Amino acid sequence: MKASDTGLLVRLSIGSRKAFTAQAFTIASLLVLISGSTALMNVPRATTLAQKAYGAYVSLILATIGDVLTILWSWSLIVWLLVFAAVYVLTAHTLAEFNSTASLLQAIGSSRSKILDLVLVRMILLGIVGWLVGSSAGLVLAQLSFRGMAYVSGAPYEIPVLFLSDLFFQLFFALSAILLGSLAPLFRFRKAIGR
């Protein structure tokens, strides 16, 4: 596949930039919750030096924050279901808009599998962009909120972090929700373009 073919594939997959941006923002805004809570939950794991330096006070604050964040982390299933539902609606809307493009591509000789490949590329791109924006924004939000808590409580400021394993989990989370959420609309679309 030539570079020009790849660029055309990506442009056709994305379709309307405005719609793609809105969809990526929707996915990212839901992933911010998971990214932020994960970064805050990582603070106790990354603060062994602070616990030695500041003693029981920091341990108490981190334990309290850990308890609150455990409750927030249990919401990740709810967030996954929200992403799943949002992707279902967004995919149905996208495929309705993409129907005219698919008809045009079929008229000039594209196969049904090539057209479905365009939709799958769009879903994967949507997942990656939503993951990048959501993880970054969640980390910034976690740092701002922890800085505020540290300022109010007078505790030393520790930096919330995302480990590489957390980033891979969030990518898996985003892509699985997006691909599973788009299955039903894809099956209906596949039947529609098969006619």
Number of domains in the chain: 1
37-79 tens-digit pLDDT? 777 777 666 555 455 555 555 566 666 666 666 666 666 677 7
Strand locations in the chain (E)? none
82-137 tens-digit pLDDT? 777 887 887 787 777 777 788 888 888 878 888 888 888 888 888 899 899 999 99
pTM summary value: 0.75
CA distance 120 to 179: 8
| Structural domain boundaries, residue 108 | 3-193
Question: Terminus-to-terminus CA distance in the chain, angstroms?
Answer: 28
Backbone angles phi, psi at 150, to 5 degrees: -65, -40
Q: Band the pLDDT of 146: cuts 50, 70, 90.
A: confident
